[in-house]
Structure formats: structure tokens, C-alpha cells
Amino acid sequence: MAALDIAQQLKARFPEIISDPAEFRGEVTVRLSDAERITEVCAAAKKDFGFDYLVDISSVDNYGDDPRFTVVYHLYGYGHHCHLRLKTDVSEEKSELPTVCTVWRTANWHEREIYDMMGIRFRNHPDLRRILMWEGYPYFPLRKDFPLAGKPSEMPDVAFSKPAPLEGGPFVTIAGGKDRIAREPRVRIPETDALDTNARLERRKDVQEAHGHSHGPGPVETK
């Protein structure tokens, strides 16, 4: 059974909150408009549709857009060998989602990592604390407004951090941009970089067309 069929069945099961499945290069994505029901949807996906393996949970910081965070669940089923990507949005004021640890135990550490790096809390998580940085670290490093070099922090007897010398870096490509010069500028100022450049570039029409439909379906249309 193809992944698209299974995704269609999942949509038929939850018609108001799951969008039409989008397919790009063999990968199927569905969007969930009501993030509070994620546990219910995931439990149905595991029990009834055979997605017994949670491959990954990851989060995206859409800095500048209104639901600031998107949390992406990658599901897979050993029985039918099909992948599914499930996306939900979380706004910054809320910054909270129900946990899926009750469905897949592996979600424990993935959700801890999302809490550590992005600041999204998970309700009913058995042990929600930082996993990569140390407890008491005051920032969320993978947010777009946090500089790559880091910010100074001090916790006596536990850890300290200092900003790293970047020397004109970070030497990574900016996404989007119509030519190489826009994508790889000679000088980057890290504080202002991700804040306006990325957000501005991604919203430009020519950049969106260059992306194609790789970003999946938009918000769910309710009837």
C-alpha cells in the first residue's frame, strides 16, 4: 500500500484537522491544524495505520511568521514500509504541545532535545529537562535570534559559556536568493543575519517559486 493511500486514510479518519496529503519526490506530508490533538492522531497512526516507528521529531523556527514554531514528526511503519511526515504549528505565546511519549517511548529524548534547543514545552512529559546543554543554561540555542557564536553565561561550579570568535563567519550559505552572490555574501554580520535576511528572502515571490512545492501544503482549509 502506498504512503499516499495511508495518508488519505488518516485524513479520512480526522477530516477536520488533517490537511490533504502533499507528495514531493515520493515523500508524503500532512499538516495538523490542531496541535492539541497530536497525541490522539499519533496513537491512531500507530495502532490503526501501522506507523510503529517514530523516526524523528524536529522543530523549525519560522522567525517572523506568526505560529513561530513548526514541529515535524517523521513516522515509519515496519509492516507497510511507508514513511509519513506530520507537521503542526506552535505559536510563541503558547510554546507548548502534548507529548507523544505515551505512543512511542523514543519521543522522550527527541522532545527533550526540542525543549533544550527551541524552548517548546511538552505537557505530561515524564522528564522534561535539558539534554544537550546543562540545566540552568538560560537560552535556547537553535532559535533564529540566537547567534551561532553563543552568548556569555555563568553558572558557578556547573558550566560557563563565552561567545566564540567567528572572524567574519559563519561561512554557511543563506537559503534562497536568486544568485550565488546573494546566497554567499562576502561579509556576514551574524546578529542581523538570520533575523532579516532569511525571513526577507524566503518571502520573496521568486524565491518561493524557486522552492517549488517542497514545503508541503499550507494551512488546513476548514469547510
Q: Which residues bind other proteins (CB under 8 A)?
A: 132-134, 139, 141, 146-151, 157-167, 169-170
At closest approach, how far in Å is the CB of 133 from other proteins? 7
At closest approach, how far in Å is the CB of 53 from other proteins? 29
Q: Which is nearer to other proteins, 148 or 199 (CB)?
A: 148
Peptide bond into 67 cis (omega under 30): no
Which residue in this structure is represented by grid cell 488519505? 8
At closest approach, how far in Å is the CB of 164 from other proteins? 4
At closest approach, how far in Å is the CB of 23 from other proteins? 36
> What values do phi and psi take at 69, rounded to 5?
-110, 145
Q: Which is nearer to other proteins, 124 or 173 (CB)?
A: 173
How many Å apart are CA 124 and CA 158, to the nearest integer?
A: 28
- Report yes or no: 120 and 69 within 8 Å, Cβ to Cβ: yes
Q: Which is nearer to other proteins, 24 or 160 (CB)?
A: 160
At closest approach, how far in Å is the CB of 120 from other proteins? 19
How many Å apart are CA 170 and CA 187, to the nearest integer?
A: 9
Q: Which is nearer to other proteins, 44 or 174 (CB)?
A: 174
Q: Which is nearer to other proteins, 166 or 207 (CB)?
A: 166
N residues, the chain: 223
- Report yes or no: 175 and 201 within 8 Å, Cβ to Cβ: yes
At closest approach, how far in Å is the CB of 51 from other proteins? 33
Q: Which is nearer to other proteins, 165 or 212 (CB)?
A: 165
The secondary structure of 14-70 as a DSSP string is STTTB---EEETTEEEEEES-GGGHHHHHHHHHHTS---EEEEEEEEE-TTSSS-EE
Q: Residue 132: name the closest of 161, 169, 157, 166 by CA.
A: 161
